[in-house]
Amino acid sequence: MNIHELEIDQKLLAVGVLDALRTARQVAFDNAREMPELLPTYQAIETLYQDTATAFGAKSSQFSTGISI
């Protein structure tokens, strides 16, 4: 799927999914900093986010926050 070829309503849905995953990624990152045992959860969400952005054909620079632990 290429996000750039979608209709506007579909683009909004795709961006909503990426935004929700980005929020989940940030929350998981913050929690993993406080509780290192949550690091695998953060890593799983990060992988899901990156895979989804790739599947949508989004440029990683558009959606990447550069989070690392």
**What pLDDT is attached to residue 21?**
93
User: Assign residue 66 a region: left if phi > 0, alpha if psi is -120 to 50, beta otherwise?
Assistant: left
pLDDT band of 11, cuts 50, 70, 90: confident
Residue 11 belongs to some domain of the structure: yes
Chain segment 16-68, per-residue pLDDT in tens: 998 999 999 999 999 999 999 999 999 999 999 999 888 887 665 454 544 44
Separation in Å, CA 17 to CA 22, 45, 48, 52, 61? 9, 13, 11, 9, 17
What is the number of domains present in the chain?
A: 1
65 inside domain: no
Does 64 reside within a domain?
Answer: no
Residue 69: predicted pLDDT: 39
pTM: 0.71
